[in-house]
Amino acid sequence: MNKKLIALVVLAGACLLVSPRAHAQAAASSAPAASGSQKASDQDIQLLRQDIRSKKKQLIAANLTLTADQATKFWPVYDQYTADLVKINDQKYTLIKEYADNWGNMTDAQALDYSQRWLAVDQQVAQLRIKYVPIFNKVVPGKTVASFFQLDRRVQMIIDVQIASQIPLVQAQD
């Protein structure tokens, strides 16, 4: 699993090529150029996110022991879980973009709003996992469910650490 996790970390790191700081610098340039480069960046990010989802699925498949019957039942539930998670992660990506757009000119009220919205996204992810525990448990045993969520959380924590390391602190704008 170590080599696979390292590959995933590298891929997640590639996702950070368009950091909020770089995005903020691009936004400071002329409006037409920033607009065109933003569209390309959004497309690049979407492709990277799809690739990360694919690598995550491969990682889970390689590390989760499933019988053929369990796999037949597990993967459709996993795909629905992932689709629901993508919707939440879309909000996270929007928050990061907004943060980058406002960084350098952020007010106390904006900073507080940003923090509250970020925590709400985290809460949505936790609620989604809670919702899916019994759904997964209908198709695979409890130890398999627990192992899946361990893998899911590990991968997400790696990605979150990579992203967080690229986002400058609010106070750094002063």
In a domain, 70, yes or no: yes
Q: How confident is the model at residue 169 (pLDDT cuts 50, 70, 90)?
A: confident
Report how far apart, in Å, the C-alpha atoms of 16 and of each of 20, 70, 96 are: 9, 35, 11
In a domain, 33, yes or no: yes
Regarding predicted confidence, which is higher, 53 or 80? Answer: 80
Q: How far apart are CA 134 and CA 92, in angstroms?
A: 25
Instruction: Give me the pLDDT at residue 174, please.
Output: 64
In a domain, 143, yes or no: yes
**Alpha carbon 34 to its chain's center:** 24
Instruction: Give me the pLDDT at residue 51, please.
Output: 81
Instruction: Assess whether pLDDT exceeds 50 at residue 15.
Output: no
Q: How far apart are CA 22 and CA 174, in angstroms?
A: 18
Please state the rounded mean pLDDT for residues 141-163: 92
| Contact predicate 98/114, CB 8 Å | yes
pLDDT per residue as tens digits for the range 39-78: 447 776 777 778 888 899 999 999 999 999 999 999 999 9
In a domain, 81, yes or no: yes
In a domain, 66, yes or no: yes
pLDDT per residue as tens digits for the range 98-144: 888 888 888 889 889 999 999 999 999 999 999 999 999 999 999 99
Instruction: Give me the pLDDT at residue 8, please.
Output: 44
**Alpha carbon 120 to its chain's center:** 14
Please state the rounded mean pLDDT for residues 147-169: 88
In a domain, 139, yes or no: yes
Number of domains in the chain: 1
In a domain, 174, yes or no: no
In a domain, 56, yes or no: yes
DSSP character at residue 138: T
| Contact predicate 151/64, CB 8 Å | yes
Q: Can you give the pTM of this predicted structure?
A: 0.73
Please state the rounded mean pLDDT for residues 14-40: 39
Report how far apart, in Å, the C-alpha atoms of 31 and of each of 35, 38, 51 are: 6, 10, 30
Domain limits at 132?
2-169
